[in-house]
Amino acid sequence: MNLKNMLLAVIATLLLAAPSYSQIAVIANKNVDLVLNTNTQASDIFTLEVQMSKNNVLIVVFNLKSGEVQDKFYAALNKTSTELKKIWMKAQLSGQGKAPESLDSESAMIAKVASTPGAVGYVSESNVTADVKVLFVIK
């Protein structure tokens, strides 16, 4: 094996071994009429400040329990896990909204969002299916 082939093999190995940094997609049930253009607008949904879609459907937010996707999503919202939990608790105790249900996996998220009217959640973009619509891709 000559040097060039060896280098190509090393590069290919590194590329295959590297983790996949898929973007995060904010997804919704197909009956949700909502337009999101910025991370701030996405943050307004997940901090329960906006609770109604354009077609007057009550928005139901879902969250992931843990994981890299959740970490990246929270970072995009510029909020820590503790801050979001406080925001959700305050909203619930003030009667302003309901803390989101946390789900174990992205497939559970897809299933829940697809089957719940008004649902909004998030998954990595590569895991989006045709059962849900994509509102926004986190930059």
Partner 1 sequence: MKLLKMRCVVPLFGLLLFSSTNISAEGVDIFGYAQITLTGNKDLADESVSPTTTFSVQEFDLFFQKTLSPKITMLADIQFNGNYSTSKSWGSMALDELWIKFSPYRQLNIKVGKLLPTFNSFNEIKTKFPLFPYIVRPIVYETSFQESLALNRWAPEHAMMQIFGTQPINNAKLDYAIFGGNSEFLETEVKGSGTLTLPGDDTTNFKLVGGRVGMRASGIKFGVSGTYDYARNDVINKSVADQNARIPSINEHLPSFVPKLEIMPKLGDIPRARLGFDLSYTGHGLTIEGEYILVKQMPSDKEKANLDIIVKGTTIPAGQMKPYAVQTVGTDLTKSFWYVNVMYDFLDKFYASAGFSNQADASDLLVSKDGVTGLLFCFGYRLTDNVTIKSEFTNIRNDIMSDEAAIELNQIIGQVAVSVFF
Q: Between 10 and 67, whose beta carbon lies closer to partner 1?
A: 67
Binding map of partner 1 across residues 33-72, x = CB under 8 A, - = no contact: -------x---x----xxxx---xxx--------------
Query: Which secondary structure element, helix H or strand E, spans residue 87, and what is its range?
Result: helix 81-93
Residues 6 or more apart whose CB falls under 8 angstroms from that of 136 comprise 25, 26, 36, 37, 41, 42
Task: Name the residue with tokens 């989006």.
Answer: 128
- Please report whether residue 95 would count as binding partner 1 according to CB under 8 A: yes
90, 108, 112, 125: which one binds partner 1 (CB under 8 A): 90
68, 71, 83, 104: which one binds partner 1 (CB under 8 A): 83
Contact 119, 28 (CB under 8 A): yes
